[in-house]
Structure formats: structure tokens, C-alpha cells
Structure 1
Amino acid sequence: MQYHIEGMDCASCVSKIEKALVRMPGVSNVQLNFATQKLELTLAPDTATETRDIESTIKRLGFGVSDLADQQHNGSSAGNQAAINDQRWWQSIKGRQVIGIGILMSLAYGLSLIFPEYGAWAFIAAVIIGVLPFARKAFALMSTGTPFSIEMLMSVAAIGALIIGEAEEAAAVVFLFSVGELLERVAADRARAGIRALSSLVPKTAILLDAQGQQHQVPATSLQVNDKVLVRPGDRVSADGTIMEGVSSLDESPVTGESVPVVKSVDDEVFAGSINVYGVLQVRVEKTAADNTIARIIELVEQAQASKAPTARFIEKFSRYYTPAVMAIAALVIIVPPLALGGEWATWLYRGLALLLIACPCALVLSTPAAIASGLAVGARRGLLIKGGNVMELVGKVTTVAFDKTGTLTEGKPRVTDVVGFTKEYTDAKGQDKLLALFASVDSISSHPLAKAIVECAIAAKVAIFDATNASATAGKAVHATVTGRFLTIGSPVYITERTTLSATQQMQIETLQNEGKTVSILFDEQKGETLGLVALRDELREDALQAIALLNKMNVRSVMLTGDNSRTAKALASQLDIEWEAELLPEDKLRLLSAMQENTKIAMIGDGINDAPALATADVGIAMGSGTDVAIETADIALLKSCVMDVANLIALSRATMRNIHQNVVFALGLKGVFLITTMFGITGLWIAVLADTGATVLVTLNALRLLRFKGTS
């Protein structure tokens, strides 16, 4: 069963609801996400507990509840929740409560001025009416397993103040507490806004093209796989799909965080929520609204926010002892001075009541999840998909990053870097174009990545590609074909030297290119028995790789390249990056090296999310490169949707910033309470200051966590 819960203002609200529900017969697997306000639970079919019992229990605790299944049946649950969250503060239950209590207190103050002899009674009446909702909630919480709630502490303090004749101060306590709760609600809504913004990226409607090409405006949620939709200039793409017709530049920053628009054409993938810059596109739908990239990102971020970081779990355990300990101190403050030192009961009762308000652990409990939620939200906006608070906390402790080479440090696409003619006919610029044409003609019959790269280079250079006949291949060594009446072979230097003798100059040229990390292919004329020339290719480094490795070094993070490629290529790329390297590794070799490094350091493994799955699983943190691909999102602990090496440094910086924020929050929460604990003991501050200490600390912690939303990264 799934519910939407309204009115949770801090993380301690989660434990209040969870404690109440787990005590109910037949209820199990209770999971409540403060950030998304989503409750999931399992209800046994043969239990006496009914759904209305669950809902009434939650309502008795003072929270709103609605069935997500009903929302989805009647319309968009995201839309309904957005409508709730878009309420103005005065439209909310707590907003109306503040206004009501404010009017009560104002009337009491006015009456005390006009009729001084009845002033105290006016405040007493105002306090009783104002404290009633909180007292009702306090007793509901006590009956469901939470006796030491802030509502109980505040109610006891307010009523105690009335008993000792401090009616005006009791009124201030009730009013300030109401204002504080309202401020907590506003701050909590601000914290949740980041994830709500993601769901608004996908347009509500789409232009569906029928079999006759007629246009129909339909809800985007109604689109099915293989539907054809029209995307006009300026429109947001309505579904994940493949371009069937048209060329345009798309701004994918809402999805991947990539700031530069990407040019896309027929057969290229597009993401829902991307903005079409100038062309008209026809797109075939590949995923429904519930399964598109943004929906999956939102789901994964929500799951991540629901998981608790180790620091959060520790603080929750600490808070279980903190509140009873402070309450015990409050009891001693009330009893010991009058009995042992002859102090006045009224004075020490007043100070003890003030200490009760300081006993609430709301700010402390909120210190970690508020920062983690903000960190996860800003990460998602920047294309850093982090799967959980524990991962967010752990990645900042990483001191070694192991990179796969192909597709991670490099683009994963070999490109032609050199065309060298060996005979006079092919040495000048025109001759090199002729040589490239022959290479491309022979390779046009091959599906090998290097062959495809040569053909693409020829097409880009606008050289003629001739028909190839009598094509054949020597597995793993060479490809053969007849082109313009000549029987030609393209092979590796090793294969060609078995067929003919290369000159010393040719061997030197080949060796120089190979030392630069390039792969060399040679064109050989079988009939004449001569080598015509060579083409060199290399999988080039990503543009930001050099800057990213340099930045990681500055952050005292060691970088290592682990690759299955040959040592010569690995050494050439490693020398460019100034990075440690290990080459010619089998998958089990990578695992062995990672395990050895883990003995002395926390290590993150960066791969493409497909063939590096074992290594990603072995490392302390597995990070997948891949622009929103299913494999990249599902495989590792973290997915870098922009496929930028620089985002590895951004990721570590975000984690460290989040942990600094958590430490600041803990200091704020404990520091404020510690100060007012002492000032209250010595009678310097009273009840209403104690309320400010509690609500002020909670609001301060939340606002500090929201600062993370302005995180700009290291680039």
C-alpha cells in the first residue's frame, strides 16, 4: 500500500508515524520518505486491521493522508501533490492555526489593557484554546509509542507556566511554537522543491501523429511505445524515443545537466524533457511516461533519499537517549535546588519547564537527512545520479579513483589521426585522399570499429568510396577486397610483415605512431606485392580528462588507469594524463588489483556500466559513465549522466560539501541547545527563548541544508 502524507516538517515526524504503524496488527515493511512524503507498507490480508484504521491513526497524529493508488486512478498523483505543496502558507492547516492563535493572543492582550483585573484570565483562556490541538496530538503520539514528543513537552511547559502564574509567557510559548512549526513547514517545502521541479520538466501534452500524418494533441501520459509524435522548435520532447525524421539541436540540460545543446538526427535517441532548439522532429516513442529517463531518475532519487546515511542512523540512536537525558536533568533542576538548597519551587519549576522545551531533538535529527536530500537533489540537477545517503557519505571519503580507459577516460570511438603514403603516388595531399579512398572502399564491407572509423573519416573528407568485390577476411588479422580492379588487403603491421618486407623508414614510422598510443593499419597491393601506405587511429581522450585528473590530484585523490588494452597504448595515454596505469588486464586482474588497493584506501571504480560490472561491484563505490542509458543508471552506485570525467571531481566535491554541511548542522543544533541549557539553568533565559532555541535551531539547520542547492561544482 502507498500513501501520500501531508504535514511532515522534520525527520522526527517519520519516526512518529513509523512507531505508530508498526504497533498495529498485520502492518509490516513500513517505509516513510520524509523528502517525498511517500509512505509504503504491507498489510496482511488476514488481519483485523483495515485501511481505514491506518488512515485514522495517521490523522490522529496530526498528519494528512491520501491513498496514492486513488490519486493515480483519478489523475496525476504528481499533479495532486504539487497542488498541495503549492499552497500559500496561510492556506495550510498550520498557517490557519498560527493566524487563529495570533488572533486569540491579540484579543487576550487587548482585554488585559482594557480590563487589567481580567487580563490574566484572558491569557489563560487563550493558552487553553491554543494548546488544545497540540495536547490532543501529544496524547495521540503517547498512545502510539512516542511519549517524549515536542508537542508533549510544549504542552506540559505551557500548562506548567499557567500553574505558576506565568500566563502571558505561556501564551508566548504557544504562539512562538506555532510560528516555529509553520516556518519548519515552509523550509521543508523549499527542500522538496528540487525533486518536484524534475517532474515538471516533461510536458503535459504531446502532438500525436496518426497513420495518415494528422496531428492530435493528447496527454503525454497516454503515449504508447511505437507511437509517432511531432516535436516543434521550442517544444519539450514529450517522451523518450528515436528520431525518425528531421535534424535539430537539443538542449538536454534538464535531463543530463549538459549545458551545450547536442545536434541530433535520424536514429539518434532523445530524452523526454529535452528542449528542441530549431528543427522539426518526428520521434518514435520508445518508453512510456512511467518509464522514461526523468521518471526513472526521480524514482531513483526518491529511493536514495529514503535510505539513511550512517551519520543519520547514529544521530537517530543518539537522539533516543538525548531527550530522556535532558528531561531527567529538567526533573533534577525542579526538585534538587528547592529540597537541597532551599530554592523557591516556582523559580525552579519555571526553569525546569524551560529545559523541557530544549529537550526536543528535532533539529538534531533533521541535521543529516536535510543536507543529504539537498545534496541528492542538486546532484540530480547536475547529472550526478547518487543512489542513497550512504553512497553520498562514502564517496567523499574516497582517496583513490580507478578509471577504465575505453569509453571512460577516452571517448570510446576510434578516430583517424594520420594518413601516410609509402609510394610517390600517395605522399602529397591529393595522394593521401586517394589512399584514404582505397582504405575506406576495402573497409566498407567490414563491421569492425576501426573499419567504421576509416569509412566515417572518408565520408567527412568527401572522398569517393568505390565498390568492393570479392570481399573476404582473415579472422582477427586482415580484410581483403577487389577495388577498381586491384586486389587489396588491409592488415596489422604484424600480418603485413608476414607477406612482405617493410623498409627501415616504414618500420620507424609505424613504431613512432604506436608509441603515441595509435593503432596502425597497412594497405597492401597483393598483385604488385607492395605496401601503399598506412592509416593510424586512436581512441582520443575526452576533452575534460586532463583537467579532471589534475583537479583530483589537487584534492589529494590518487588516480589509476586500469585497462585491458596493450601496454604501449596505455603508457602513451597515461603519460598525457600524468596518471598511474596498469595494462593488459583481464576482468579478474582488475578485481585482484582493486581488492589489493582496498586494504589501504577507500576506492571508487569508474567504468562504462556494461563490461565493468564486476569491478564496479567490487569497489567501495561503483560509478558508471553513460548518458542516461539503462545499464549505466542500473549498474552502479552512481551514474554520471553527462559522461564527463570532470564530474568525478564534482561528485567528490559535492559529497565533501554535504558532509561539511552535516557537521555544521550538528554543531548548530547541539550548540544552540547547549547554550540555552546553561542560560536557562542560571535563570538568564526563559520559556519563550527556549521555544526559539528549539524552532530556531530546526529552521537554521534546514536553511543551512538548502545552501547546498547553490552548489556550482568544481568546473
Structure 2
Amino acid sequence: MHITQTRYRITGMDCASCAAKIDTAVRRIDGVEDVSVSVTGQSMSVLHQGTVLSDAILRQVAKLGYGIIPAEDARPTKFGRPVAHDHHDHADEGSSGLSWWRSGRAMLTLASAAALVAAYVLGKLVPAAEYWAFLAALLVGLVPIARRAFMAGISGTPFSIETLMTIAAGGAVLIGAAEEAATVVLLFLVGELLEGVAAGRARASIQGLADLVPKIALIERNERLEELPAENLAVADVIVVRPGDRIPADGEIVEGSSEINEAPVTGESTPKRKGPKDTVFAGTISTDGVLKVRVTAAAEDNTIARVVRLVEEAQESKAPTERFIDRFSRYYTPGVLVVGALVAVLPPLLVGAGWNEWIYKGLAILLIGCPCALVISTPAAVAAGLATGARRGLLMKGGAVLENFGKITAVAFDKTGTLTEGRPVVTDIVAFDRKEREVLSMAAALEQGSSHPLAIAILERAKAAGAPVPPAFNAKASSGKGVEGSVGGLSVFLGSSEAAEERASLTADQTAAVETLREQGKTVSVLVAGGGAAGLIAMRDEPRADAKAGLAALKRDGIRAVMLTGDNRKTAAAIANELGIEVRADLLPQDKQRIVGELQREGFMVAKVGDGINDAPALAAADIGVAMGGGTDVALETADAAILHGRVADVSRMIELSRAVMANIRQNIAVALGLKAAFFVTTVIGITGLWPAILADTGATVLVTANAMRLLRWKGRSGDIGPQARRTLT
């Protein structure tokens, strides 16, 4: 049977109970295999057999009062904001594009408030009509709520918050409390409106990231500049970016140089000078130069679009705590109905208490027991955590990964490209009988035109030092030995010390200098000019600027760190000693996988950090696999999480973010259950009634949501790890 996955945009969801109703309803359609709903992403993924028509899914969701369209009909640059949608009771600011006070929910709330005020005035003027006036005011707000309760019930969710609200309001009318029932319904609608506004804030964080990409690009065609929608840019188009403009696409600079402000995307506080062949990301800003950039990714595949898409998918993946709360709420809501019924009937039956008094208390219990605050406690915090992580280049594939990151007790790092920059740089120039600048110039002359990493390192050092690069004649590579040619009339060779000694003898001091540099894990090339040794050039793949501080942050938190590398022991040991990390060297991919398993058997929960390709076996074996990369090259598909901007300290920050999210969830659950317990007691002993009950539920929901939203401002402890590392962190 052919299985298909279809994505939809859904408008109007603002809490997990909304998602649960949609999930249950869609699962009842024959042929639907699985459903994932994201409240924050306003999206749904449905895994279904090919026989299931999209229209059947659209109708099932629309019956519940939500707007729904296939995801491909939505505008790709607007996360969670489709181009068109159906208007229903649940239409809100985040989904419709309207200001919250112009949404359908706000209109209903205002109508209910106006009806309640009118009923109050009429009751004062015509006391005999007071009851009927308040009953009419009640129906203004209650009828839409009751309709939603009915549709949810026939779609598989009989015990919804709307059901509790309808029963409580109806019961209040039966015992003559129409005025109070109308007020409670208004307070419920106000609470829903506040929930919608708060949920919109969570969506706005990622929407803001998507909106960093400008809508218009300047493209160079036939030696003329034309304006073109950025979403229509194709790979290989050449765009022009003026000073102060945001870059509209991922690309490679082909002409010009500029300071690039990457803070909006990466959080880097210091602009980077970039020029030809350097990579730039969509949404970053060219501050002081005109650039011509060749587009390397279409709009739907640029860095920001991929981050937004990853976060959206992650929000549909529930954390273990969230799954537990969902299961708990399935029994919790029916339990509330049972408890409310028992409170209403047992005292009158057993001790002859007044029926009206205890029915009133039972109805208040139903309102106190509304599960919204409890159900939203986890997904709100997880969504905020995923969003704030994404804005800082910390990408996690789902709530389970976010939750488990805080439990990590050991981190295994790859070396090349993870703890180090992944490319060699010139670290030492030692001149024997010439000046250092002359040694560098002659070496660079021989390496012109070469694409070998060591050659590139020498040429970059010459450029940075302003050393002249004279022409080299008859330059040729000597396989496995080095490169030779004629520079300034001299016969010049650059290569290994063994090959150099075939052309010129090295003194004991010169040989000792070579060995000293090699002991530091460096590759040493000897320059021979005019038949004599002229100097040494040492190169090494150097540690990332924040590697030492990042490892220190892990150690401070009691987390073991180990380097696993295929490099030779001498090179690996030199880097490890400099960084203060234990090392295992000369490893094959299967060896790395084996060591991860050994750490797990010792009781550690292990995160493996690597490039996501060469380390695939170890990444798969670890409890959490983390891809370390930059921009569009990051291996998002091969790991559970990704550090988008290549900062070692971000591993510690991911762990810290996870712990902050879990602490937030615990606070939310305590607030939700604590307020319910307190008001349950005060209601039973007669201190509080229906009004405080609904205020308690609404208040708890707003408090829980506001507490979760604090995570959007999370910055971590970057100030604790030193000024050098702080410059590389948000």
C-alpha cells in the first residue's frame, strides 16, 4: 500500500488541547497512519495511505472550527502564516495576519462583554427581565463554545475544556445563577483570547527569523540591475548587495569585499570581513562595501529556510514529558467530571446538605479542573526552547532531543573540523640565513596556483603579512616530496625535511628545530634556496578560538570530554594537551563507535560531536549525535542536533538550554497543579465560587505561557567563560 505524507497549515490553534482535538479527529479517518500536530508551528503532518483524499482531512479539521490549507499553498517565507485561510471561531492574530483585537475570537469576546453589560443595565431598569437578560447574554458566548464541544465530541474528544465549560454554565443556569454563568463564560473567552496572544508571541520568534530575508533582490542581467522577488532567485544568479543591505540569498562572493554583520542570524557580535570565494548567508548585512554574490541555494533551501523548517518539524516531535502529560490528561479530564459530580451529590445525599450549594461547588470544581494550563505547560516551554536555540544556531530535532540533552554526562568530540578549524594555517616561520619575510615570499611564489591545503595556508599567510609574491619559473611538483622551481634567479625547493636533505645538508640545530615543531603536532616544510637551507615553515590545523573555553565550560558542569580522532598520536596529543582534553588517536570509524559504546556501558549518557558524515557510525551509536558545521554544509540529516556556526562552546550551551527548559517545565507544572489544588480546597470549604474558579484556570494558563516565553530571552552563561570565548557567543 502506497504511503504518503502531507503537510497542512492550520490556523487558530493556541494550546495543546486544540492540537489533541485535531489529532484525534484526523486519526479517525480510514487510511490515516499517523498524525503530528504543532501548535507553535500552526502545522500538521499526516502519514496516510494513497486512497485518503486531502479533502477528507480538510473537512474533518474545518468541522472543529479551525482554518486549514495544504502547506504548499502557504507563502514559503512566512512561517505559520498562510496566504489564505478559512475564517472560523478560532481565527487569531498569529494565523490570520490580523491584529489580535480584530480577530474572530476578539469579536466574540467583545460581543459577549457588550451583551453582559446590556443585561446588567436592563436588569436594573426592569428587574423582572433580569434573569432572561443574563440568559441571553450567556447564550451569546456559550453557543459557539457548545458547538465546538459538540463537534469535538463527535470527532472523538468528548472530554474537552469546552465540554467542561458548557456543563458548568448550563448547570449554573439550572440553579438560577444565570448572571454568574454569563460572567464566567466572558472570563473564559477573555482567557482564550489571552492564550492566543501569548501563543502568537512564540510563533513570532521564528516568524521574525524568516522575515530577516529581504523580499526583493537586485540581480545583474545584461549589464543592468533589475529588481526581482528574492523567492524567485535561482542557483547561479549573480545578485548585487549594496552597503547597508541585507543579503537576500545564500551565496559566494564573486566580486568586492565588505564587513558582514552576521548577528541577526548567528548572534556573532563582531562583523567579519569577507571577500571573493567567501560564503555569505541570507539575512546577514553588508555594512560597508558593494558585493556581487553568486546564489548557491534557492529561497526554500537557504540557511534560514532550513532552520525554520527544522524547527517546525522539531515542534511536531513531542518530548517524553509532553507525551506523559498528554496521556495523563486523557484520564484527568474525565476524572474532573467524576470529582465534580461527587462533590455535587454526596454531601446532600449523605448529610442532607443543600443541593443548590453543593451543585454550585461541583460546577466550580469543573472549572478549576480545566486542563489547559497543565496540558500547555510542556509544549509551550519546548517550543520556546527550540525557537530560542534556533536563533542562536543550536538546532535540535524535536522535544525528545531537547529534553535529553540536559542529561548528557560525557561528550566525545571529533578533532578535525570540530575542535579545530578544519584547515591548516601557518604557525611558525623560522629563517636560517635570510629574513622571515623573504622565506615566506619564496615559498608563496612556488605555491601560486596550487589548491593543496598547505599551499593555500602559505598563500594566505603571505597575503596577510603583505609579503610580495614574485613569479616562479619552471615550477613543478615532485610527487610525495614537495615543489621546486626558479625564483629570482635561484633554484628553490619547498618540501619535507627528508626530501630537503637530498638537496642541502641540515645542521644539528636546524634538524632540532624541525623536530621541536613536529613534537607540537605541526607539519614542517623546509625551504632550500641556492643549494642551502633557507628556513622552515610550520603549519597546523589550529584549535577553534573558543575550543578551550568551551571544554572548560563542560568540565565546570561535571561533564567528561574526550577527543576521538583518526590522526596520529603525536598530532592528536599536541592539540589535546593545549586544550586540556583526554584523547584517543589512530582510530577508524568503527573504533570511534566502539569507544562510544564503552562510555555508555560505564554509565555515561554520551553526546558525539562530529562532521555528521565521516563519524556516522559513532553519531548513530551515541545517545545524541551532534553535527558540527557551518551554513548550508551542516549535516542536518545525519544527527539529532546541529551546531550551525561551529562553536565548541555551543555544546555546553545546548546542555544549559536543555536544563533551563526542563526547569521551566517543572515550574509550569507546579503552578498549574498548585493553583488547582489551592482553589479546590477553598471552593469545597465555601471561600471561592465560579468566578474565582475560572479566573484561577485562566490565570494559571497565562502564567504558564508567560513563564515559558521567558525562554525566548534566554542567553545562557556566556559571561562566565571568559572574554575571548564571549566574543564568539551570542
TM category, shorter: over 0.9
The equivalent residue for 2:99 is 88
Post-superposition offset of 1:28: 4.4
Candidates 112, 118, 123, aligned match of 1:112? 123
The equivalent residue for 2:723 is none
**Distance in 2 between residues matched to 1:28 and 1:665, nearest whole Å:** 32
Candidates 536, 542, 545, aligned match of 2:544? 542
1:180-228 Cα shifts (integer Å, max 9, x gaps): 11111111111111111122111111122212x1122121122222222
Matches within 5 A, 1:246-261: 246-261=256-271
The equivalent residue for 1:226 is 236
The equivalent residue for 2:724 is none
Cα 1:309/1:83, change in 2 over 3 Å: closer
Post-superposition offset of 1:485: 5.5
State the superposition RMSD in angstroms: 2.5
Helix, strand or coil at the partner of 2:512: helix
Matched residues, number? 703
The equivalent residue for 1:413 is 423
Matched AA of 1:586: L
**Distance in 1 between residues matched to 2:81 and 2:178, nearest whole Å:** 45
Matches within 5 A, 1:310-349: 310-349=320-359
Post-superposition offset of 1:100: 0.6
**Distance in 2 between residues matched to 1:444 and 1:56, nearest whole Å:** 66
The equivalent residue for 2:712 is 709
Helix, strand or coil at the partner of 1:80: coil
Matched AA of 2:398: G
**Distance in 2 between residues matched to 1:275 and 1:387, nearest whole Å:** 28
Gaps of 5+ in 2: 1-5, 85-92, 719-730
Moved more, 164-173 or 440-449: 440-449
Post-superposition offset of 1:159: 1.0
**Distance in 1 between residues matched to 2:118 and 2:408, nearest whole Å:** 60
Candidates 168, 176, 195, aligned match of 1:184? 195
1:452 maps onto 2:456 in alignment: yes
Matches within 5 A, 1:199-598: 199-211=210-222, 213-422=223-432, 425-426=433-434, 431-444=435-448, 446-461=450-465, 462-469=467-474, 471-475=476-480, 477-484=481-488, 487-494=491-498, 502-524=506-528, 528=531, 530-598=532-600
The equivalent residue for 1:147 is 158
Cα 1:184/1:50, change in 2 over 3 Å: same
Moved more, 536-545 or 66-75: 66-75
Matched AA of 2:162: E
**Distance in 2 between residues matched to 1:331 and 1:76, nearest whole Å:** 44
Helix, strand or coil at the partner of 1:216: strand
**Distance in 2 between residues matched to 1:25 and 1:687, nearest whole Å:** 41
Helix, strand or coil at the partner of 2:212: coil
Helix, strand or coil at the partner of 1:585: coil
Gaps of 5+ in 1: none
Cα 1:495/1:394, change in 2 over 3 Å: farther
Helix, strand or coil at the partner of 1:308: coil
Post-superposition offset of 1:468: 4.2
**Distance in 1 between residues matched to 2:65 and 2:254, nearest whole Å:** 53
**Distance in 1 between residues matched to 2:232 and 2:273, nearest whole Å:** 28
Cα 1:222/1:78, change in 2 over 3 Å: farther
Whether the aligned pair in 2 keeps the contact of 1:250 and 1:264 (CA below 8 Å) is yes
Matched AA of 2:631: G
**Distance in 1 between residues matched to 2:486 and 2:177, nearest whole Å:** 104
1:523-572 Cα shifts (integer Å, max 9, x gaps): 346x84x5433222222222212221222211222221222223223222
**Distance in 1 between residues matched to 2:607 and 2:95, nearest whole Å:** 40
1:344-385 Cα shifts (integer Å, max 9, x gaps): 222221111111122322211111111111011111111112
Moved more, 74-83 or 554-563: 74-83
Matched AA of 2:685: F
**Distance in 2 between residues matched to 1:443 and 1:284, nearest whole Å:** 27
Matched AA of 2:444: A
Candidates 143, 146, 166, aligned match of 2:177? 166
Post-superposition offset of 1:66: 3.5
Post-superposition offset of 1:320: 1.2
Whether the aligned pair in 2 keeps the contact of 1:481 and 1:488 (CA below 8 Å) is yes
**Distance in 2 between residues matched to 1:142 and 1:294, nearest whole Å:** 40
Whether the aligned pair in 2 keeps the contact of 1:26 and 1:44 (CA below 8 Å) is yes
Post-superposition offset of 1:502: 4.5
Whether the aligned pair in 2 keeps the contact of 1:441 and 1:468 (CA below 8 Å) is no
Matched AA of 2:238: K
Whether the aligned pair in 2 keeps the contact of 1:135 and 1:155 (CA below 8 Å) is yes
The equivalent residue for 2:66 is 63
Post-superposition offset of 1:302: 0.5
Whether the aligned pair in 1 keeps the contact of 2:76 and 2:300 (CA below 8 Å) is no
Q: Percent identity?
A: 51
1:9 maps onto 2:14 in alignment: yes
Helix, strand or coil at the partner of 1:382: coil
Post-superposition offset of 1:141: 1.0
The equivalent residue for 2:727 is none
Whether the aligned pair in 1 keeps the contact of 2:446 and 2:475 (CA below 8 Å) is no
**Distance in 1 between residues matched to 2:406 and 2:473, nearest whole Å:** 55
The equivalent residue for 2:679 is 676
Moved more, 236-245 or 502-511: 502-511
**Distance in 2 between residues matched to 1:591 and 1:556, nearest whole Å:** 23
Whether the aligned pair in 2 keeps the contact of 1:445 and 1:468 (CA below 8 Å) is no
Helix, strand or coil at the partner of 1:372: helix
Moved more, 413-422 or 494-503: 494-503
Whether the aligned pair in 2 keeps the contact of 1:649 and 1:714 (CA below 8 Å) is no
Moved more, 214-223 or 391-400: 214-223
Whether the aligned pair in 2 keeps the contact of 1:256 and 1:642 (CA below 8 Å) is yes
Whether the aligned pair in 2 keeps the contact of 1:445 and 1:471 (CA below 8 Å) is no
**Distance in 2 between residues matched to 1:446 and 1:602, nearest whole Å:** 45
Helix, strand or coil at the partner of 1:629: helix
Moved more, 507-516 or 169-178: 507-516
Cα 1:496/1:227, change in 2 over 3 Å: closer
**Distance in 1 between residues matched to 2:145 and 2:615, nearest whole Å:** 55
Helix, strand or coil at the partner of 2:635: helix
Helix, strand or coil at the partner of 1:31: strand
Moved more, 81-90 or 130-139: 81-90
Matched AA of 1:331: A
**Distance in 1 between residues matched to 2:80 and 2:218, nearest whole Å:** 23
TM superposition score normalised by structure 1: 0.93
Matched AA of 1:166: A
Matched AA of 1:451: A
Moved more, 143-152 or 67-76: 67-76
The equivalent residue for 1:41 is 46
Candidates 19, 24, 32, aligned match of 2:37? 32
Helix, strand or coil at the partner of 1:604: strand
TM superposition score normalised by structure 2: 0.91
Whether the aligned pair in 1 keeps the contact of 2:394 and 2:641 (CA below 8 Å) is yes
**Distance in 2 between residues matched to 1:402 and 1:44, nearest whole Å:** 41
Whether the aligned pair in 2 keeps the contact of 1:310 and 1:390 (CA below 8 Å) is yes
Moved more, 36-45 or 234-243: 36-45
Helix, strand or coil at the partner of 2:422: strand
Whether the aligned pair in 1 keeps the contact of 2:682 and 2:688 (CA below 8 Å) is yes
